[in-house]
Amino acid sequence: MHPAPSVIIFTSFSGLGFGLLLFLGLGFPPVTGWVAFVFYAIAYALAVGGLLASTFHLGNPQRALKAFTQWKTSWLSREAWLSVAALLVMAVYAFCAVFLDTRLTVIGWIGAALSLLTVYSTSMIYGQLRTVPRWNQPLTPVHLLTLSIAGGALLAGQMTAAAALLALAAAVQVAHWQVGDSALKESGTNLATATGLGTPGNIRAFEPPHTGTNYLLKEFVHVVGRKHSRKLRMIALTLGYGLPVVLLIIPGAGHVLGLLAVISHVAGLVTSRWLFFAEAEHVVGLYYGKRSA
Amino acid sequence: MTELPASTQKKLGLVIDLDTCVGCHACVISCKGWNTENYGAPLSDVDAYGADPAGTFLNRVHSYEITPAEGPAQLVHFPKSCLHCEDAPCVTVCPTGASYKRQEDGIVLVNETACIGCGLCAWACPYGARELDALEGVMKKCTLCVDRIYNENLPEVDRQPACVRTCPAGARHFGDLGDPDSDVSKLVAERGGMDLMPEQGTKPVNKYLPPRPKQDRAEEFDILAPFLEPVAEDPKGFLGWLDKALERL
């Protein structure tokens, strides 16, 4: 899949933002007043900024409100509802915490649950697609959820929890890569089933339909070199998970090390998300002879 | 609404004969022509006369080479457009309801005034049947020429999808695949019509007729062969002398 910057920014930052809202809603840390204002400003900037970035890849963003209508079947529509609900409920909670110095515990819990559901609905937009076997696995929502929760814990300053959650998220990340690497092969879809002709190995794409490129090739047939993918995975693991954990478990880690851990995590997160898209093989590539399976 | 109808009264679709298709791309051109001038936003081209031309097409013809264990190799031309699936994954993922499957005839269409151009339906389609138009920002797909097949302003003979009407080889057939007595259904039964990517669970309405086996025709191709016999490997007489003389040089 084409790793569009708008979608990478959207899923990475809104995931972090809703992860932070989850912890704030649960009362970790139990902030009020100006400190709470700073926390909520960061959470909303990330969550709303991410959602706004997602509208940049739309062909006709002026009609975006229509995306609220099909919640019965569409995960994208559900995500629209859940994200707005989470942001509104948490806005009430944040207002009371910042200006009235009170924390409405139950509202916070509801907001936290909605934040988590928002991230789940985002993950299901990808996880539901049978056309992309690498995404069509139960670990996809687990991967995006653990990353969001771990990132949220990190931003919320929950040092011990963040270190443990990052380690868990790293394990899920590695498992997602491993299952994903053989997913296309195991899906049973290949050029022979795509065309109904021949058997795998004795059919070959001879001529593409056009001499030029097209939307399908640009959107779905991004190929990332295996060598680079291995290097990038190491970078994502080191920056996104390893280094932040090390920085967090240094005794007496203050704001400076915490900030470094956040910066490192974001760099690793964006790398991981770039790979999430760039490595995903859409089955339409088979028709163009662009998949080895 | 993006909920799929439980069943459709008709299953209009295409039957494409891979044995007959000669790969002339006339269906591609007639499709582009009709659908640029009629239903919905035109199919745009970008840099059409420049170095890197690209454009929106609803129908594309691939070519595949098959080398069976026995018998001659075959080149198969493979036209591909929307298969108007019964279980269309492109419809249910649409967040706005722009994508829908018609209850009356099973045609899958896009309401372009409701499409936000998010592209998710194209992601959900395993066949690459949907393309986001670069200029209009809306999703384009085969309409089965819904503005031809019911159009009483056209002569009856033209009330078929443009690709079917134009095909010079008669490789494309249009009809109701839900009716077991229709010509297309009989053709599918007779020739062993098949689904593309059945494992994706989309239940495509369009069917493909496999190429007939060519092995038993190998003899036929050899009518002129006796006149084209290769030169003898060990020549005799004058040629033998010449061969040896040249060898010695």
pLDDT in tens, A123-161: 999 999 999 999 999 999 999 999 999 999 999 999 899
Q: Is residue A173 part of a domain?
A: yes
Size of interface A-B (CB pairs under 8 A): 192
Q: Which amino acid is at B176?
A: D
Give the residue among A11, A38, A5, A22 at the shortest CA–CA distance from A154: A22
**Which of A106, A128, A150 lies at the terminal end of a domain, its last residue?**
A128
Reported pTM: 0.90
Average pLDDT over residues A64-68: 93
**Which of A70, A101, A128 lies at the terminal end of a domain, its last residue?**
A128
Given pLDDT bands bounded at 50, 70 and 90, which one contains residue A56? Answer: confident
Residues 178-237 of B with CB under 8 A from A: 194-201, 208, 210-211
Given pLDDT bands bounded at 50, 70 and 90, which one contains residue B217? Answer: low
Please, what sign has the CA dihedral across residues A95, A99, A105, A106?
negative
pLDDT for residue A293: 42
Q: Is residue A64 part of a domain?
A: yes
Q: Is residue A61 part of a domain?
A: yes
User: What string of H, E and C letters represents the secondary structure of B37-60?
Assistant: HCCCCCCCEECCCCCCCEECCCCE
Contact: B117, A59; criterion CB under 8 Å: yes
Residue A75 has pLDDT above 50, yes or no: yes
Residues 146-185 of B with CB under 8 A from A: none
CA gyration radius for chain B? Answer: 25
Chain B residues with CB under 8 Å of A283 CB are 126, 197, 200
Contact: B133, A219; criterion CB under 8 Å: no
Strand-by-strand arrangement of the B74-80 sheet = A203-207, B60-66, B74-80
Contact: B94, A70; criterion CB under 8 Å: yes
Of B75, B132, B136, the CB nearest to A215: B132
% of chain A with per-residue pLDDT over 90: 81
Residues A192, A71: one domain?
Answer: no
Residues A181, A100: one domain?
Answer: no
**Which of A128, A150, A177 lies at the terminal end of a domain, its last residue?**
A128
Give the residue among B18, B141, B11 at the shortest CA–CA distance from B86: B11
Least confident of A47-56, A122-131, B27-36, B200-209: A47-56
Are the C-beta atoms of A23 and A156 separated by less than 8 Å? yes
How far apart, in whole angstroms, are the C-alpha atoms of residue B228 and residue B77?
A: 30
Q: Is residue A159 part of a domain?
A: no
Residues near A161 by beta carbon (within 8 Å), at least 6 away in sequence: A28, A153
pLDDT for residue A99: 94
Residues near B99 by beta carbon (within 8 Å), at least 6 away in sequence: B2, B90, B91, B93, B108, B109, B110, B111, B115, B121, B139
Nearest CA in chain B to A79: B95
Residues 74-113 of B with CB under 8 A from A: 75-76, 78, 80, 89, 91-98
Least confident of A45-59, B137-151, B232-246: B232-246
Q: Is residue A44 part of a domain?
A: yes
pLDDT for residue B231: 65
Contact: B123, A61; criterion CB under 8 Å: no
Residue B230 has pLDDT above 70, yes or no: no
DSSP per residue, A189-240: --HHHHHS-S-TTSEEEEE-S-SS--HHHHHH-----HHHHHHHHHHHHIII
Q: To the nearest whole number, what is the mean pLDDT of chain B?
A: 92
pLDDT in tens, A215-225: 999 999 877 77
More confident residue, B68 or A115: A115
Chain A residues with CB under 8 Å of B123 CB are 1, 129, 131-132, 219-220, 282
Q: Is residue A162 part of a domain?
A: no
Residues A80, A176: one domain?
Answer: no
Residues A56, A179: one domain?
Answer: no
Contact: A195, B125; criterion CB under 8 Å: no
Of A77, A130, A191, the CB nearest to B201: A130
Contact: B128, A74; criterion CB under 8 Å: no
Query: B57 is written with which tokens?
Result: 């097409």
pLDDT in tens, B79-137: 999 999 999 999 999 999 999 999 999 999 999 999 999 999 999 999 999 999 999 99
Are the C-beta atoms of B120 and B97 separated by less than 8 Å? no
Residues A119, A186: one domain?
Answer: no
Residue B237 has pLDDT above 90, yes or no: no
Pick among B3, B65, B76, B116 to test the A interface (most A CBs inside 10 A): B116
Residues A218, A119: one domain?
Answer: no
Given pLDDT bands bounded at 50, 70 and 90, which one contains residue B216? Answer: low
Of B57, B120, B210, the CB nearest to A76: B120
Residues A188, A284: one domain?
Answer: yes
Chain A residues with CB under 8 Å of B78 CB are 195, 197
Given pLDDT bands bounded at 50, 70 and 90, which one contains residue A283? Answer: very high
Nearest CA in chain B to A130: B200
Give the residue among B7, B12, B3 at the shortest CA–CA distance from B164: B12
Residues A101, A187: one domain?
Answer: no
Q: To the nearest whole number, what is the mean pLDDT of chain A?
A: 93
Contact: A191, B78; criterion CB under 8 Å: no
Residues A12, A62: one domain?
Answer: yes
Residues A86, A183: one domain?
Answer: no
Chain A residues with CB under 8 Å of B200 CB are 130-131, 189, 283
Contact: A197, B18; criterion CB under 8 Å: yes
Q: Is residue A142 part of a domain?
A: no
Chain A residues with CB under 8 Å of B116 CB are 58-61, 63-64, 66-67
Residue-number span of the structural domain to which A189 is assigned: 168-293
Contact: B96, A214; criterion CB under 8 Å: no
More confident residue, A53 or B128: B128
Chain A residues with CB under 8 Å of B28 CB are 209
How far apart, in whole angstroms, are the C-alpha atoms of residue A281 and residue A1?
A: 6
How far apart, in whole angstroms, are the C-alpha atoms of residue B108 and residue B86?
A: 9
Domains, chain B, with CATH or none: 12-221 (3.30.70.20)
Residue B240, φ and ψ in degrees, nearest 5: -65, -40
Q: Is residue A154 part of a domain?
A: no
Of B66, B132, B196, the CB nearest to A194: B196
Pick among A210, A276, A286 to test the B interface (most B CBs inside 10 A): A210
pLDDT in tens, B160-201: 999 999 999 999 999 999 999 999 999 999 999 999 999 999
Residues A123, A2: one domain?
Answer: yes
* Total count of domains within chain A: 2
Residue A269 has pLDDT above 70, yes or no: yes
d(CA B46, nearest CA chain A) in Å:
10
Least confident of B42-51, B110-119, B138-147, B222-231: B222-231
pLDDT for residue B185: 97
User: Which parts of A156-197 fold into alpha helices (H)?
Assistant: 159-181, 183-187, 191-195
Are the C-beta atoms of A286 and A203 separated by less than 8 Å? no
Q: Which amino acid is at A255?
A: H
pLDDT in tens, A91-135: 999 999 999 999 999 999 999 999 999 999 999 999 999 999 999
Residue B170, φ and ψ in degrees, nearest 5: 65, 35
% of chain B with per-residue pLDDT over 90: 77
Residues A196, A277: one domain?
Answer: yes
d(CA B229, nearest CA chain A) in Å:
30
More confident residue, A264 or B39: A264
Contact: B95, A130; criterion CB under 8 Å: no
Chain B residues with CB under 8 Å of A193 CB are 196-199
